[in-house]
Amino acid sequence: MIVEILAIGTELLLGQIVNSNATRIGERLADAGLDHFQQTVVGDNEARIVTAIDAACSRADALILTGGLGPTKDDLTREALAEAADVELIFDSEQADRLRERWTSSGRVMPESNLQQAERPLGSELIANPKGTAPGIRMQIADTWVFALPGVPAEMIPMLEDSVIPFLGGDDDSAVVSRLLRTWGESESAIGERLGDLYDTSTNPTIAFLASGGEIKIRITAKATSRDKAAALIAPFEATIRERLGKRIFGADDDTVEVVVLRMLEERDWTLGTAESATGGLVAGRITSVPGASRVFRGSVVSYSTEVKESLLDVSGDLIAEHGVVSEPVAVAMAEGARERLGADVVVSVTGSAGPEPQERPVGTVVVAVVTPDGSRVRTLNLPGDRERVRTFASTAALQLLRMSLQGVDWGSR
């Protein structure tokens, strides 16, 4: 089973957005053991979409399209599919009812133009879209199964998971299984060197390295005649990597650092708070992204101005005058103040200079403190990059140092 991806949208050609849909779909196809050799992008031009569909159908057994299913006139995927298959577009009155119902239930009147989302090529079936109004379309063009999904990733991904991947069913005779190990605290090249011999000598499983948001992920991928057999190839390989990397590995697969931290706190029956300056609420935002965070998380004081550090976190003006706001004593005082004010057992605090203009200390200087019932720790970091990168890496560092404190792991040389 060979699968291709065709992304539709002039905004992709103009470089206004990145084609992250192709990335997500490619990742998922690999996980499912489906072969995938080519991706194409074309703009909102019906003739070029039709040509691209024809070309892809001549090469592939299945084609996944993204984009062009919206309610406006530059959404041309429905028309292009009908033309490529040489069939009529028909009006699906059941879908029209579902669209009206969806609008009515949110107390609004549906504009008539939305009814184009009730059209589909004759002989096609609609794919349910639980997250939005645009249904997907499944149909055959010549011998190729074609799936059209919306361009909005939050809508596309569940439809891919629920309706496309299960339909394609993967290759019955082979399964590709991947295991993701998440690390923090060492560079990609240092991790690469520790595992270099495995990279060079192993063809099944293979390993790959992926850096994002300050973390290095290691992907182990094995192919075998069943998922169980592929998993059995991975197990000893994973054990070797874990032996070499130790506590640098903090989680596997979907265990983000937020999930890991909340789980450890809940096991101890400890509550959590944050006190944030440079990260401005990002750490709290990441923690509360996890469903059920309310069982552990009390809240945060984002003390962006110095006055709020004093009034809501009880950091003394003398301490600030002596050390500056980007300092280890102030970070500890912020955490201790937040612990008291929020009534939390554990607090992580962040203060720093995110740029573009330096604040007291050079841009990238970030101080993280963690206070738990067992004591407090504080560390000054020098993070590279611009404001966005410094803030992202600082929020990751805060969560990772919190995780290491809870695990009793030395904060080490970082």
Q: Which residues pair with 273 in a beta bridge?
A: 299, 347
Q: By C-alpha distance, which of 301, 300, 302, 290 is closest to 266?
A: 290
12: Cα separation from own chain's centroid: 20
- Closest contact distance (angstroms) between CB of 42 and a copy of itself is 5
Q: Which is nearer to a copy of itself, 29 or 249 (CB)?
A: 29
Site string for a copy of itself, 139-158 (x = CB under 8 A): -------------x-x----
Q: Which is nearer to a copy of itself, 10 or 376 (CB)?
A: 10
27, 88, 125, 360: which one binds a copy of itself (CB under 8 A): 27
Cβ-contact 42, 8 below 8 angstroms: yes
Cβ-contact 134, 70 below 8 angstroms: yes
Q: β-pairing, 62-66 with 2-8?
A: parallel
Q: What residues from 238 to 297 belong to the interface with a copy of itself (CB under 8 A)?
A: 271, 274, 276, 279-285, 287-289, 291-294, 297
Cβ-contact 24, 157 below 8 angstroms: yes
Interface with a copy of itself, residue 187, by CB under 8 A: yes
Ramachandran sector of residue 274 (left: φ over 0; alpha: ψ -120 to 50; beta: rest)? beta
Interface with a copy of itself, residue 170, by CB under 8 A: no
Half-sphere exposure of 14 (CA within 13 A, CB side): 6
Q: What residues from 205 to 244 belong to the interface with a copy of itself (CB under 8 A)?
A: 208-212, 219, 221
1, 2, 10, 79: which one binds a copy of itself (CB under 8 A): 10
- What's the DSSP call for residue 164? I
1, 87, 90, 110: which one binds a copy of itself (CB under 8 A): 110
Three-state secondary-structure class, residue 382: strand
Interface with a copy of itself, residue 301, by CB under 8 A: yes
88, 304, 322, 374: which one binds a copy of itself (CB under 8 A): 304
170, 192, 324, 329: which one binds a copy of itself (CB under 8 A): 192
Q: Which is nearer to a copy of itself, 30 or 252 (CB)?
A: 30
Three-state secondary-structure class, residue 10: helix
Interface with a copy of itself, residue 42, by CB under 8 A: yes
